[in-house]
Structure 1
Amino acid sequence: MCIDAEGEAERLESFIREILTRPPRLARISAWQQEELPPKGWLDFKIKTSIAGSEQKVVASPDVALCPDCRREILDPADRHYRYPFTNCTSCGPRFTIIYTLPYDRVRTAMALFPLCSDCAAEYGNPADRRFHAQPVACPSCGPRATLLDNKGQPVAGDWVELAASFLRRGCILAVKGLGGFHLAVDATNNEAVANLRRRKGRPAKPFAVMARDLATVQKYCYVSQEEAGLLLGPAAPIVLLRRRPHTDLAPEVAPGLRSLGVMLPYTPLHLLLLQAGPPLIVMTSANISDLPLIKEEAKALQELAGVADYFLSHNREIVNRCDDSVVAWRLGETHFYRRSRGFVPAALQLDLPDGPDVLAAGSDLKNTFCLLKGREAFLSQHIGDLAPVETQAAWREALERLQVLCDCRPEIIACDLHPGYYSTRLAHELGSNVVGVQHHHAHLASCLAENGVTSPALGLICDGTGYGLDGAVWGGEILLGSYKSFQRLYHLRYVPLPGGDQGARHPWYMAVSYLYHYLGSGAGTTAARELFDRQGPALEIVLQMLNRNFQLVPTSSLGRLFDAVAALCGICLENTYDGQAACALEEAALAAGGAWAGWPPYPFDLTGAEMDPGAMIKAIWQDLQKGVEVPVIAARFHRTLAEMLLQAVLRAASFTGLRGVALSGGVWHNSLLLEEISRELAKRGFTVYRHRLVPPNDGGLSLGQAAVAREIGSG
């Protein structure tokens, strides 16, 4: 932005000081400079017309949650914006989700179809008004309109707010067109209604997020720290994972078996009106079928959700860019991302990287995001999801085309995962010939280094579920030494066979059988497996035959699969109906015993050569199960053992490398028990611990690391 200002020296100095010290609510000043020029005789204030294609850098903004001023107007019967569901100003409202291209002017957004009325035009053109040059500005006279439809697409006559609220109170399922797509909403205190939503959507156990009327409502159901309240009330308004209070009227089916709850506040006027009139706490979950993309078109919603939703709350403003809700938590004094999307995308990450050619990184196949690296700025896409469905691949291409335009990026290098069967790998090769393959866990390490501004080599404690290894095995429990340019694997979890490939990841008991067979021996392991999993019937015998004949087995060092195995041994999760379900169940069990550090001793383990060997632990767990030791105690000791094993391996790696910086990356670091213990113990021993705070440690942040590595390798 360029500002020409004229006036007396003292007033100009005051003007500059005011901008730098008290910028507008959404302003972010990354750098500034001033230059004295001859006076031009300015007598008034003007914003010049944007020039398309100009060289001046323009950045698209993320969507911004409803501000206090607009909220006040919406609830004021005397205001012309009273109960208007698309009220906004320069401090709030849609941005990324309605933009076609830059410069950001109304004619290049979904608001182009809604000419301003005289009142809105007056506010838009008045420099003293807070709606001055607010591109999505609208009112009941000139802006978009909400409509309530039945599940056949027919309008429902009456006040949409009161009717929609009454439907929710009656236990109906409502499909709601929001900012970046449709949600499915239901009263979060009505267990029958929530269970009905689970049946219709085919989502048996994965927790639902909820939207609360206000902060007081959140505090009724959850413990909320000052920092967590800041996240809830901030401009991004993400879903925040909070610890639930016991003995509330929250429906058990909302988050079965979990002590945490994902909560957000109304971030649009439409949501605010719905929550004010309806139940104070409603499930608000993404409206999609299975792993398909978030639905953003009314016609598609009516077609695909007719058997799920009873009614549809829609509107006639187009969603240009679909964008799912972001999910965060407050961990160790920092924001911890589970999903970075609405409210944060497409804001750039400022990196301390050498300049170089533009890079596109395709990301992973699960929790996919892609990354455009331009200069020292990284633009991560919104959450795309699972790339297996062709519809999601089409959504990936559409999102890429849009984001390239918005950040004016022309990639010369394309990065992708080394896995030859990944959909993201194929997509990358379809786009160009200068493709750089990046090993999955090297990308995790580089992602953490990049966001922490680390340019020198460091140790990486990289723990996740699946990553294609250089030897063709499935990696996932690794200690690496590396930088952007290269890496070495210093330690890894000892290999065990993974029966059934992807089926083994979906059914944790497969890995439990493998660990028993591997460490107890074929005879005792088979007997133990039949004792624990006899209800699996013929499937168990097939897995045992695969192990006995060494048929269709892939070796794995995945820590995620070890979590699966122990969760199945303990009988608390035999099927992963969502990613990480077994690990979540095991962490919950450990918390029930007071956590891993409540005086529980670790199980035995071994560090031999370059391997972390959990065999002694598996034998001890089996013995504890035979003795009738309570599952929470086993889970707590398991966490304690992992922390100790990883810590000792890092200490050994540090002793012969001399490095004192350790990066923690991979989806396992969503586990709060491990994250807190490892961070604390390493810091206590003088290590510098690098954690993710700008992107998720899971595969949602992988593309950032791919981009950093590819630029280093591809332009070297």
Structure 2
Amino acid sequence: MSTEEMIVRGIVQGVGFRPFVWRLAMRLGIEGEVGNRGDAVVITASGGQAALDALAVALTAEAPPLARVDGIERKAAPPFAGRGFTIAASTPGTVSVGVVADIATCPACHAEMRDATARRHRYAFTNCTDCGPRFSIVEGLPYDRATTTMRGFPMCPACRAEYENPADRRFHAQPIACPACGPRLLPEVDGDPVEVAAMRLREGAILAIKGIGGFHIACDATNEVAVAELRARKHRPTKPLAVMVRDRAMLDALCEAGEAEHAALAHPSAPIVLLRMHADAALAPSVAPGQNRLGAMLPYAPLHHLLMEAVGRPLVMTSGNRSSEPQIFRDAEAYAGLDGIVDAFLAHDRPIARRLDDSVVQVAAGHVQVMRRGRGLAPVPRDLPAGFSQAPPVLALGGELKSAICLTVGGKALLSHHLGDLEEPSTQDEFERTIADYTALFAHRAAAIAVDLHPDYQPSRFGAALAAERDLPLIAVQHHHAHIAAVMAERGWPLDGGKVVGIALDGLGLGEDSTIWGAEVLLCDYRASRRLAHLKPIPLAGGDMANREPWRVLLAHLDVALGPEAVPSDLFDELPIATLRAMVARGINAPPASSAGRLFDAMAALLRLAPPRIRFEGEAAMALQVAAEAAPGDQPPYPFAVESESDLIVIDPAPMWRAALADRAAGLAATVMARRFHTGVADVFAGLALSLAARHGAKAIALSGGVFQNALLLEIFLRRLAGSGLDILIPEQVPTNDGGLAFGQAAVAAARLTDD
């Protein structure tokens, strides 16, 4: 007989790992105990050497579906003094980043809810060790009921018996509950609250639904009057709305979805998935006006399953908030903040510990790409590539838009959930609370603070103050270097793997020369980047107004490309172009920028696809993508000129604008012109990246930046780069938009600290 201590690290809390070990021990005839420590599961195992070896193998090979074993440390231990095998109570220890995200209802719990003889028949808070709320209820570690928002619901004897039985699938399921002892639906009404809510939805009412990470606003997605009223009350005129469907059959009636899309929908994270809509989809026109894609999701909480089965129709499920503010997750704020927007509530009395928006993904070029990292995905950690294991811990604070933070420790990076745009004071408050929440929950002690190079971004200012307060180094990372570093780190590019050519197509970011960048070809490693090529800058007339009014950017592009006298006058009827040209001539609030995002906006304006003033971020570019996807795919690319200026290459769109104006004059369809534009952008940037990779000996090309959320553009790029013999790195689990900036900042800062 031998005795060993086995320390198992990874995602091993809240996933049924201890009862799994108990069952293995019973099978292998091993005595000892298993317990939770803050940073690991610790096993004392006594038995024959063959049995101990088999246990070590099975810990990884047979791990529960929601677990992830990152490593097992084995060492000899004193003989075990007890008998049998037991599960010990959790003990404090060094906190790890292995906290499980919230998990959609598993098939076993769903079946139990539908079983009229079961104790949890139609119970809206049914869960087990394989599903249910996790991160949304955690308030401290180790992960036990006393450190969750479920501590206010004492277990009844029946639930206690399940909770304490290692052979039961609810053993140590911290959110365990039943109708006798668990959370209840609110408000209390005559009859079934779900049936009452369903009846009101079918009648056209707008309801607030309390979910896992916050409140949704719901209405019948087939009722145009209800959807239009929701938009009016929420002051959201055109931005697409997400829809929840009951099941695969309901989804297939609305959208095209292949196996990759269905797999994404059925993933335990249960994200919103962007899908191509059928032309005759039976939805209210106001759900996604002018779009060819629908954000769809399946029910992921027991309450959703009950509601969707009762309604029998697709429901709009949009964030429960007022326009531009964060999603509401606290009860009192919901009743006050949603007053006047919703007609009624379907809520419950289980508190939510932190706001978690729904995650959003799409399938592009065969790859599942995360566009918003929220409920179900955060806070699952990511391994940093080879070479980072000894890097000091970093706190990275991301950017101004699509804000997220990132912590690194012990060769891992923990990218937070989506926080929102920091232009709103309420989101700024949420940002600061999240920093305090994450650093306390994960006992993180940063050795440095990483921020964007732009000193006036809210996170940069906050980071500078925090670094000064804690006497820590402040590491400023150029915006597009962070984008490329994020995809390098996600795809496992080693710390010393050599240079990568990065194509960063983005909105706006401060460059190392203090001008505005946004359409860049960079030569990068983690420590530094060098600008090799960029789009020719144009003046952003009116500064930030140019981001909201695409016609301003079109005017600037055409003036630079053709000269003001050659610009067709009918493009800008009744618009104050003389004033803008005077501003540009005098250099008043007209900073030069090389933005790819604004280039797409300008083309959308030329094709009359963009309104004079956009109503949500990306509106113009999304319309341009929709038009391009409606055209045949074999369109010749619009030409761009490639010129050398000193040690930089400049991509000049002037030939593209001349060709586009000629096509417009000839009456060519806007769809074909949009397709030619997409192909031209991919052709010039991909071709340049290939030649520069060869010149500089780079072995990989990385694509990142918010413009690569355009699935069509990404597909054209990948076709153009295929067969190059180079590694092509594209984002998947880390958002390609600014939601991934903090991850890239953290990798850059960790690399620089490793050298110090």
TM-score (norm 2): 0.90
Counterpart-to-counterpart distance in 2, 1:357 and 1:708 = 11
Specify whether residues 58 and 118 from structure 1 end up closer, same or farther in structure 2 by C-alpha distance, changes over 3 A only. farther
The equivalent of 1:712 in structure 2 is: 751
Q: Secondary structure at the match of 1:198?
A: helix
2:641 matches 1:603 = no
Q: One-letter code of the match for 1:22? A: E
Question: What is the Cα deviation at residue 35 of structure 1?
Answer: 4.2
The equivalent of 2:147 in structure 1 is: 108
The answer to whether the Cα contact below 8 Å between 2:95 and 2:442 also exists between their aligned partners in 1 is no
2:616 matches 1:578 = yes
Counterpart-to-counterpart distance in 2, 1:177 and 1:618 = 50
The equivalent of 1:395 in structure 2 is: 430
The answer to whether the Cα contact below 8 Å between 1:59 and 1:406 also exists between their aligned partners in 2 is no
Counterpart-to-counterpart distance in 1, 2:544 and 2:86 = 60
Q: One-letter code of the match for 1:635? A: A
The answer to whether the Cα contact below 8 Å between 1:373 and 1:379 also exists between their aligned partners in 2 is yes
The answer to whether the Cα contact below 8 Å between 2:485 and 2:525 also exists between their aligned partners in 1 is yes
Counterpart-to-counterpart distance in 2, 1:189 and 1:641 = 39
The equivalent of 1:31 in structure 2 is: 71
Q: 1:513 aligns with which of 555, 569, 572?
A: 555
Q: Secondary structure at the match of 2:346?
A: strand
The equivalent of 2:651 in structure 1 is: 612
Q: 2:62 aligns with which of 19, 22, 34?
A: 22
Q: 1:174 aligns with which of 203, 207, 211?
A: 207
The equivalent of 1:80 in structure 2 is: 119
The equivalent of 1:151 in structure 2 is: none
2:582 matches 1:545 = yes
Counterpart-to-counterpart distance in 2, 1:44 and 1:540 = 84
The equivalent of 1:445 in structure 2 is: 484
Q: Secondary structure at the match of 1:242?
A: strand
Q: One-letter code of the match for 2:359? A: S
Q: 1:137 aligns with which of 162, 165, 176?
A: 176
Q: Secondary structure at the match of 1:402?
A: helix
Specify whether residues 156 and 548 from structure 1 end up closer, same or farther in structure 2 by C-alpha distance, changes over 3 A only. farther
Q: Secondary structure at the match of 1:593?
A: coil
2:588 matches 1:555 = no
Q: 1:477 aligns with which of 499, 506, 519?
A: 519
Q: Secondary structure at the match of 2:295?
A: strand
Specify whether residues 57 and 697 from structure 1 end up closer, same or farther in structure 2 by C-alpha distance, changes over 3 A only. closer
Counterpart-to-counterpart distance in 1, 2:198 and 2:311 = 4
Q: 2:457 aligns with which of 395, 398, 422?
A: 422
Q: One-letter code of the match for 1:520? A: L
Counterpart-to-counterpart distance in 1, 2:634 and 2:720 = 16
The equivalent of 2:291 in structure 1 is: 258
The answer to whether the Cα contact below 8 Å between 2:683 and 2:720 also exists between their aligned partners in 1 is no
Question: What is the Cα deviation at residue 18 of structure 1?
Answer: 4.0
Q: 2:543 aligns with which of 473, 482, 501?
A: 501
Counterpart-to-counterpart distance in 2, 1:616 and 1:122 = 75
2:363 matches 1:330 = yes
Question: What is the Cα deviation at residue 652 of structure 1?
Answer: 3.0
2:715 matches 1:682 = no
Q: Secondary structure at the match of 1:573?
A: coil
Q: One-letter code of the match for 1:472? A: S
Question: What is the Cα deviation at residue 426 of structure 1?
Answer: 1.2
Report how many residues are paired: 701
Specify whether residues 655 and 9 from structure 1 end up closer, same or farther in structure 2 by C-alpha distance, changes over 3 A only. closer
The answer to whether the Cα contact below 8 Å between 1:98 and 1:318 also exists between their aligned partners in 2 is yes
Matching of residues 108-257 of structure 1 within 5 Å = 108-148=147-187, 156-257=189-290
Question: What is the Cα deviation at residue 32 of structure 1?
Answer: 2.2
The equivalent of 1:587 in structure 2 is: 625
2:418 matches 1:347 = no
Q: One-letter code of the match for 2:507? A: G
Q: Secondary structure at the match of 1:385?
A: coil
2:699 matches 1:636 = no
The equivalent of 2:439 in structure 1 is: 404
The equivalent of 1:371 in structure 2 is: 406
The answer to whether the Cα contact below 8 Å between 1:621 and 1:634 also exists between their aligned partners in 2 is yes
Q: One-letter code of the match for 2:615? A: T
Q: One-letter code of the match for 1:253? A: S
The equivalent of 2:332 in structure 1 is: 299
Q: Secondary structure at the match of 1:684?
A: coil
Question: What is the Cα deviation at residue 640 of structure 1?
Answer: 1.2
The equivalent of 1:272 in structure 2 is: 305
Q: One-letter code of the match for 2:511? A: G
Which range moves more in the overlay, 568-577 or 330-339? 330-339
Counterpart-to-counterpart distance in 2, 1:46 and 1:400 = 38
The equivalent of 1:5 in structure 2 is: 45
Q: Secondary structure at the match of 2:722?
A: helix
Q: Secondary structure at the match of 1:85?
A: coil
The answer to whether the Cα contact below 8 Å between 1:60 and 1:407 also exists between their aligned partners in 2 is no
Q: 2:691 aligns with which of 652, 664, 673?
A: 652
Question: What is the Cα deviation at residue 625 of structure 1?
Answer: 1.5
Counterpart-to-counterpart distance in 1, 2:97 and 2:676 = 53
Question: What is the Cα deviation at residue 10 of structure 1?
Answer: 5.4
Question: What is the Cα deviation at residue 33 of structure 1?
Answer: 4.0
Question: What is the Cα deviation at residue 169 of structure 1?
Answer: 0.6
The answer to whether the Cα contact below 8 Å between 1:239 and 1:326 also exists between their aligned partners in 2 is yes
Q: Secondary structure at the match of 2:716?
A: helix
Q: 1:694 aligns with which of 702, 726, 733?
A: 733
Question: What is the Cα deviation at residue 401 of structure 1?
Answer: 1.4
Q: One-letter code of the match for 1:518? A: V
Counterpart-to-counterpart distance in 2, 1:425 and 1:398 = 16
The answer to whether the Cα contact below 8 Å between 2:217 and 2:317 also exists between their aligned partners in 1 is yes
Question: What is the Cα deviation at residue 429 of structure 1?
Answer: 1.6
The answer to whether the Cα contact below 8 Å between 1:60 and 1:406 also exists between their aligned partners in 2 is no
Give CA-to-partner distance per residue, 1:489-524, whole Å, 9 cap, x none: 000000111111111001111101111222221222
Which range moves more in the overlay, 564-573 or 462-471? 462-471
Give CA-to-partner distance per residue, 1:461-484, whole Å, 9 cap, x none: 000111111223221100000111
The answer to whether the Cα contact below 8 Å between 1:499 and 1:553 also exists between their aligned partners in 2 is yes
Structure 1 stretches of 5 or more lacking a match? 149-154
Question: What is the Cα deviation at residue 75 of structure 1?
Answer: 1.2
The answer to whether the Cα contact below 8 Å between 1:494 and 1:611 also exists between their aligned partners in 2 is yes
Q: Secondary structure at the match of 2:253?
A: helix
Which range moves more in the overlay, 248-257 or 409-418? 248-257
Specify whether residues 407 and 333 from structure 1 end up closer, same or farther in structure 2 by C-alpha distance, changes over 3 A only. farther
Give CA-to-partner distance per residue, 1:77-136, whole Å, 9 cap, x none: 111111111111100011101111101011111001010000000000001100000111
Specify whether residues 195 and 351 from structure 1 end up closer, same or farther in structure 2 by C-alpha distance, changes over 3 A only. same
Question: What is the Cα deviation at residue 375 of structure 1?
Answer: 2.0
Question: What is the Cα deviation at residue 21 of structure 1?
Answer: 2.5
Q: Secondary structure at the match of 1:553?
A: coil
Question: What is the Cα deviation at residue 19 of structure 1?
Answer: 3.6
Q: Secondary structure at the match of 2:71?
A: coil
Structure 2 stretches of 5 or more lacking a match? 1-40
Q: One-letter code of the match for 1:185? A: A
The answer to whether the Cα contact below 8 Å between 2:194 and 2:346 also exists between their aligned partners in 1 is no
Counterpart-to-counterpart distance in 2, 1:27 and 1:373 = 20
Which range moves more in the overlay, 417-426 or 178-187? 417-426
Give CA-to-partner distance per residue, 1:6-54, whole Å, 9 cap, x none: 44555555544444323212111222244454542543443212122x2
Q: 2:354 aligns with which of 321, 325, 347?
A: 321
Counterpart-to-counterpart distance in 2, 1:202 and 1:645 = 40
Counterpart-to-counterpart distance in 1, 2:210 and 2:348 = 7
The answer to whether the Cα contact below 8 Å between 1:58 and 1:103 also exists between their aligned partners in 2 is no
The equivalent of 2:13 in structure 1 is: none
Q: One-letter code of the match for 2:163? A: Y
Counterpart-to-counterpart distance in 2, 1:558 and 1:581 = 16
Counterpart-to-counterpart distance in 1, 2:176 and 2:200 = 30
Counterpart-to-counterpart distance in 2, 1:614 and 1:30 = 49
Matching of residues 662-677 of structure 1 within 5 Å = 662-677=701-716
Aligned CA-pair RMSD: 1.7
The answer to whether the Cα contact below 8 Å between 1:448 and 1:663 also exists between their aligned partners in 2 is yes
Q: Secondary structure at the match of 2:712?
A: helix
